[in-house]
């Protein structure tokens, strides 16, 4: 978006003092003509941005001027603090950033913004457990992503095969306390489970990053593919209606409600990659859930039942 580029342009000028349209174009990955139009737009808007001709010329903020970039209205400020405020309860850096932003807000916005920041506290630890710190490997990879440097890593795949790769780190995703790295490789974009990275060294080589790469979009495609793989097999079940909310909470999007069958039970469809995985998920329900099909899931449940009876039955029928 152009607004994002204009803000980035101001930040670059404040950091460097003077920039050329060509330098700006390279930094923001746009054409020289686009960079020049952005600079002219800032000047037209009344921001003291002026060109200086000559061999060592360029564009600069007159007199080293600095611009207030907070520019938030009351609703935006409150929304921002509602979003970032909970993070401040577990991240000291976020708390420091909020304090600085509060000072940049108009007096009339501060009270509501501060109240929004303190409205929610996040406690990520379960009862009896400690808050987990971000793994050192994640911090190292995050540094490489931010600095846009290639990483040489050793990776242990799902089949225990170990390989060494030189990758372009593009972004990290934390999904339910499991970290994933999306990276460019010689075979295209890949997703790696961070806990399987046994070694990683950040190099001095600049990483290649597609100009149109968007981490949210990339992760959405990964999720789509994984959900498709997890939905290769469907089983039809009957469950008492009063337990439906529990099953839905356990299986989320992998559970589809077909409808009531007239005896207080609900027919649902559950998907998973294999019959064994469905059977393992349902075994703890005992007779409370009836599997109508497929026969492969029924057979796996019967096998699991026999195994449990053999181990724990002690001769009881």
In CATH terms, 136-213 corresponds, of 2.30.30, 2.60.40, 2.40.30, 1.10.443, to: 2.30.30
Across the chain, what does the average pLDDT equal?
81
In CATH terms, 233-312 corresponds, of 1.10.3210, 3.40.50, 3.30.70, 2.60.40, to: 3.30.70
Does the fold of domain 136-213 match that of domain 2-64?
A: no
Decide yes or no: CATH 1.10.10.10 for domain 2-64.
yes
- CA proximity to 117, closest of 128, 107, 109, 125: 109
Write out 20-45 in H/E/C secondary structure. Answer: CHHHHHHHHCCCHHHHHHHHHHHHHC
Q: Give kind and range of the element (H or E) at residue 126.
A: none
Please tell me whether residue 176 adopts helix, strand or coil conformation. coil
State mean pLDDT over 237-252: 90
Ramachandran bin of 130, using left for φ above 0, alpha for ψ from -120 to 50, beta for the remaining angles = beta
| Residue 5: both structure tokens together | 């580029």
State mean pLDDT over 283-294: 91
* Tens digit of each residue's pLDDT (9 = 90 or more) over 99-118: 666 665 666 666 777 776 66
Higher pLDDT, 96 or 264: 264
Task: Say what angle helices 21-28 and 32-44 make with each other, to 10 degrees.
Answer: 110
Is pLDDT above 60 for 48?
Answer: yes
What's the confidence (pLDDT) of residue 141?
92
Distance separating alpha carbons of residues 12 and 26, to the nearest angstrom: 12
State mean pLDDT over 266-274: 90
Domain map (residue ranges) of the chain = 2-64, 74-117, 136-213, 233-312
The pLDDT-based confidence of 37 (bands split at 50, 70, 90) is confident
What's the confidence (pLDDT) of residue 93?
66
* Tens digit of each residue's pLDDT (9 = 90 or more) over 210-241: 888 888 888 988 888 887 777 778 899 999 99
Q: Most confidently modeled of 20-24, 34-38, 145-149, 197-201?
A: 197-201
State mean pLDDT over 59-86: 62
What's the confidence (pLDDT) of residue 267?
94
Report how far Cα 264 is from the mean position of its chain's Cα atoms: 40
Is pLDDT above 70 for 131?
Answer: no
């Amino acid at each position: 978006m152009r607004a994002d580029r204009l803000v980035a342009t101001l930040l670059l000028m404040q950091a460097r003092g003077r920039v050329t349209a060509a330098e700006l174009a390279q930094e923001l990955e746009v054409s020289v003509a686009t960079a020049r139009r952005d600079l002219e737009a800032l000047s037209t808007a009344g921001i003291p941005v002026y060109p200086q001709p000559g061999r060592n010329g360029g564009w600069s903020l007159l007199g080293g001027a600095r611009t207030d970039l907070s520019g938030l209205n009351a609703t935006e400020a409150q929304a921002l603090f509602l979003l970032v405020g909970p993070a401040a309860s577990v991240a000291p850096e976020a708390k420091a950033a909020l304090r600085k932003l509060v000072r940049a807000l108009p007096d009339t916005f501060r009270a509501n913004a501060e109240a929004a920041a303190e409205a929610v506290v996040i406690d990520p630890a379960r009862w009896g457990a400690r808050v987990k710190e971000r793994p050192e490997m994640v911090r190292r990879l995050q540094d490489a992503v931010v600095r846009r440097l290639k990483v040489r890593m050793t990776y242990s795949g799902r089949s225990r095969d170990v390989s060494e790769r030189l990758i372009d780190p593009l972004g990290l995703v934390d999904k339910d306390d499991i970290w994933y790295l999306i990276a460019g490789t010689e075979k295209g974009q890949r997703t790696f489970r961070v806990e399987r990275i046994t070694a990683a060294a950040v190099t001095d080589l600049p990483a290649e990053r597609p100009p149109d790469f968007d981490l949210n979009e990339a992760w959405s495609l990964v999720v789509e593919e994984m959900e498709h793989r997890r939905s290769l097999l469907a089983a039809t079940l009957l469950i008492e209606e009063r337990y439906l909310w529990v099953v839905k909470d356990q299986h989320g999007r992998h559970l589809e409600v077909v409808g009531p069958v007239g005896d207080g039970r609900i027919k649902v469809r559950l998907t998973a990659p294999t019959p064994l995985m469905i059977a393992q998920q349902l075994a703890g329900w005992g007779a409370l859930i009836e599997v109508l099909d497929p026969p492969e899931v029924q057979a796996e449940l019967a096998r699991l039942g026999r195994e449990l009876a053999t181990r724990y039955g002690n001769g009881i029928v």
